[in-house]
Amino acid sequence: MFRLRRQVYCDNNATTAVSRATRKAVNDVLAHCYANPSSPYKMAHGAAGILANARERIARAINAPTHTLLFTACATESNNALRAIVPLLPAGKQAILYNPLEHPSVLESLYWLRERGFELIALMPGDKGRITPADVGTAWRDDVGLLVCMAANNEIGAIHDVAGMAGIAHAHGARIFSDMVQALGKIPVDVSASGVDYASFSAHKIHGPKGVGALYVREGAPFAPFMLGGHQESGLRAGTESLHNIAGFAVAADGIARLLSLAPALRQKRDAFAATLKHIAPDCVFNSPCGDECLPGTLSVTFPGTANAVVMGQLDYHGVSVAAGSACNTGEDAPSHVLTGIGLTPEAARSTLRISFPHDLSEKEARYVATVFEDVLSGKAKRITALQPSQLTEEVLFAPGLFIIDLRRSEKPVYLLKPLPDSHRFPFYSIGKHLHEIPRDRPILVTCETGYDAPVIAYYLKRKGYAQLTFLMWGILGWKLSQPELYERFAGQHPRE
């Protein structure tokens, strides 16, 4: 018997596949309507019409008046609009009550405001990361002018009752900002009925293109221009609109009704998959809420004592793409703030995976993913040798013929850890372009700073036909902590670019 290798993308909270209809709309605009919608001549009138039509369709999808929707470059930009909202809060109401499990683009904006004198008051997440209107009511203070809470969490899938929270905020004369990026297309979103004053959205979470987002600003809610330099978007967000992406966003928004129709079946498949995982690994722990309190395709699960990076690499080798529940490659090995915020230890966070299924997940795909998980967790799947930091001795370091790969993320301006001696530096994100530089007839040791990237790339190389592969568990950080004398003597010697 044999099993065909499938490719099943299970990281849909990160991004989604662009639909065929969306691709066509984007290409049509690029090819036939490239004029600037702000220009006065005839050709630009068509572009302006596309812009107006797209705004109307997207606004309809969230039940918002058309003029309340602003286009941005992404949801992160929309969330950064907090910096334009908070300074307009009335005197005596300049404290901000917020969910500490928000997306980093929200948290970093709030921290920026705190540095400028605004007080932040963190709500305390309850079981499985949920915050209720009752929690908001208990934490409320008279000087709160803005409540910030996402509609659904991107890591664990917890859904929040923002409508109930909005009622409390308005009863106290305050406003509410909600990141609705993960909610759109997965649960019904109605900004008018929910009562939110501000809401952020992203096209690429609903099978639209990357590079375009939206910000809803309720009529009458205070808002100042946050991008200066032009009259676009009613003078509130300067810059020529990305017309082709906006057209694609509109097509994706048209498909929301279909996505919502698939949600109940997807929720059933997720629950069945969770039951299968519990049978395969009885000690696994689910961090996501149950049933309707969680996004339909999202499941956060901890496998105690198992390094998530290793499991990710093995799953990826078999065509299953998932995300880690821990952002490890930082030099400090910092775990996810969401997972630690709901009570997980850093060790448990580093043993956590986030699975986010596509809406159209088939029964065959679900079975395949479950089978691959069973093979990986039971040890049936072929594994690459993992080298413990304590095993990386001087003899191993300088073994004849050893080719050491030092993975680095190019966007990091400063690396806190020095590489192994005589190692060859490769970029994590584009190592595929450098395969001709990696010998196939020598033993290879794959390393990175904290152990997150090395197993993923090791299994990638295995898929590309490399045979003599080993990766360093816990990365150079683990080696430095385990063998500090060797690190001081040899780290950083003779690096190869």
Segment-wise mean pLDDT, segments of 10 residues, the chain, 497 residues? 70 97 97 90 90 98 98 97 96 96 98 97 94 97 98 98 98 98 98 98 98 98 92 90 97 98 97 96 96 96 93 92 64 78 94 97 95 91 86 92 92 77 93 95 94 92 93 93 94 73
> Helix, strand or coil for residue 211?
coil
Q: DSSP secondary-structure letter at 201?
A: E
Q: Report the distance separating Cα 448 and Cα 429, nearest Å.
A: 13
Pairing of strands 403-408, 444-447: parallel
Gap between the Cα atoms of 242 and 232, Å rounded: 11
CATH superfamily to which 385-490 belongs: Rhodanese-like domain (3.40.250.10)
Backbone angle region of 343, left / alpha / beta, with phi > 0 → left and psi within -120 to 50 → alpha: left
Give the pLDDT confidence score for residue 1 in this predicted structure.
Answer: 32
Q: Which run of H or E residues covers position 104?
A: helix 104-114
Predicted confidence at residue 5, as pLDDT, reads 64
Q: Architecture of domain 20-254 in CATH?
A: 3-Layer(aba) Sandwich (3.40)
Catalytic annotation, pick one of 33, 74, 149, 328 = 328
Asked whether the beta carbons of 47 and 35 are under 8 A apart, the reply is yes
Helix H segments across 292-379?
308-317, 337-341, 346-349, 363-378
Strands 298-302 and 352-356: antiparallel
Q: How far apart are CA 126 and CA 113, in angstroms?
A: 26
pLDDT of residue 438: 97
Query: Is 207:18 a contact under the CB 8 Å cutoff?
Result: yes
CB atoms within 10 A of CB 52: 12
**C-alpha distances in Å from residue 43, one per residue of 25, 35, 243:** 18, 6, 14
- Going from N- to C-terminal start, the domains of the chain cover 8-15+262-378, 20-254, 385-490
Identify the pLDDT of residue 380: 83
CATH 3.40.190.100 corresponds to the domain 8-15+262-378: no
Active site residue 328: yes
The tokens describing 237, both together, are 């967000």
The b-or-e profile of 339-366 (16+ CB within 10 A means b, else e) is: bbbbebeeebbbbbbbbbbbbebeeebb
Which residues have CB under 8 Å from 269's CB, separation 6+?
357, 361, 363, 366
Cα 64 to Cα 79, 180, 246, 437, 475: the distances in Å are: 18, 14, 17, 54, 49
| Alpha helices, H only, 255-319 | 256-280, 308-317
* pLDDT given at position 385: 87
Q: Using CA atoms, how far apart are residues 249 and 18, in angstroms rounded to an integer?
A: 10
Sheet holding 298-302, edge to edge: 285-286, 298-302, 352-356, 323-324
